[in-house]
Structures are given as C-alpha cells and as structure tokens.
C-alpha cells in the first residue's frame, strides 16, 4: 500500500534518476551540468528537467536572484524508499 513516492509524484524516468542519485549520494545540491552528465541529456534539456522538478516542488532553486545554477531537494524524501 502507498507505493513508491516517485510513482505518487508522477515523475518522469529522467526526473526519477536525478532524485534517486541525489538521495543515493546524499547530495545537497545539483547543477544542470551534473544532471546532463548523469542522464546523457544536453545541458539546456537538463535545465528544463530541473525546472520541472522545481514546478513539482521536489527541488528548490538555490539562487533566485540571478540565473539558477544550483538546485536543492525541497521535500523530505528520506522517509520514502527511493
């Protein structure tokens, strides 16, 4: 019952990969460049993916004044099995 948090949040495969990687390696922040390396996406596409995670309230933009360069986990996902 309850299911996986990723299923409940309706994340794409790529979004799931980012969240799992951040949890697995206990990363506090992530950049579009890192996501591009992990997923094989172009940096611009990785940036869009991260924006999607911000829109889903999974990540938060670390620097809101200028161009966002880093993202942090927004929700406490530690209670869920990822």
Set out the domains of the chain in order of their start, with CATH numbers: 5-73 (1.10.10.10)
Q: How far is CA 19 from CA 30, 37, 38, 61, 66, in A?
A: 10, 14, 11, 14, 24
CA atoms of 52 and 9, how far apart (whole Å): 12
| Cα–chain center distance at 1 | 25
Q: What is the pLDDT of residue 8?
A: 64
Q: What is the pLDDT of residue 2?
A: 44
Contact, 4 vs 77, CB < 8 A? no
Q: What is the pLDDT of residue 57?
A: 87
pTM above threshold 0.85? no
Q: What is the pLDDT of residue 1?
A: 38
Which ranges of the chain have pLDDT less than 50?
Answer: 1-3, 79-82
CA atoms of 24 and 15, how far apart (whole Å): 14
């Amino acid at each position: 019952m309850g299911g996986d948090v990723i299923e409940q949040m309706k994340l794409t495969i790529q979004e799931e990969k980012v969240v799992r990687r951040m949890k697995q390696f206990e990363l506090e922040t992530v950049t579009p460049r890192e996501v591009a390396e992990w997923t094989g996406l172009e940096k611009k596409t990785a940036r869009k993916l991260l924006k999607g995670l911000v829109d889903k309230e999974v990540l938060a933009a670390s620097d809101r004044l200028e161009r966002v360069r880093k993202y942090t986990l927004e929700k406490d996902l530690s209670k869920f099995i990822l």
